[in-house]
Amino acid sequence: MAAIYLPVGSLIYLNTTIKLSEHNRQPISIQHNRIEKTQRMSNGTLRKFFVADKKTINVSWNLLPSFDTFTVDGGYGAMDLRSFYDGTAAKASGALSGRSNFDVTLSYGGTTQTFNMIFTGCSFELIKRNVKQVSGDTAQEFWNVSLSMEEV
């Protein structure tokens, strides 16, 4: 059976080339965090010292297949995401070589935004295993995946 891919594209990319699957993706949460210092002065006025605005992105999938060969759009599956996460998390563990941060590109509404981010949370929950259409087929596993990333 030939694979059919959706031509729409993906909403989120890692390092500009790694497409994350739209297969059962839940809404992406983009939160804006303002880093500032607020201080009340002796005369009663309030002063704010603005430092920066940073973004936090949360994304999750329900019943995501293990590999990109099983997703509807050819985007990264659960095990592909896990290997990417393990690779960047290992670099963040104190090793001097390599980068623990990565680029995240969001494409929506005719705009494209790229952010330099780092993982702040990740969970993989195995939901179904050994799913086969025919007994001779390769077994598939389905995962609930959740990723949290914060701008560097």
pLDDT (tens digit, 9 = 90+) per residue, 32-52?
A: 999 999 999 999 999 999 999
At 59, the pLDDT band (50, 70, 90 cuts) reads very high
pTM, entire model = 0.79
Tell me the C-alpha to C-alpha distance, in Å, between residue 138 and each of 60, 70, 78, 129.
25, 11, 16, 11
Tell me the C-alpha to C-alpha distance, in Å, between residue 134 and each of 15, 50, 59, 106, 137.
37, 60, 32, 38, 5
Residue 110 has pLDDT above 90, yes or no: no
Q: Domain ranges for the chain, please list them.
A: 12-151
Per-residue pLDDT at 8: 62
User: What is d(CA 54, CA 51) in angstroms, rounded to the nearest whole number?
Assistant: 10
> What does the pLDDT average to over 87-102?
64
Mean pLDDT of the chain: 85
Q: DSSP assignment of 29-72, as one string?
A: EEEEEEEEEEEE-TTS-EEEEEEEEEEEEEEEEEEEESSTTTSS
Residue 31 has pLDDT above 80, yes or no: yes
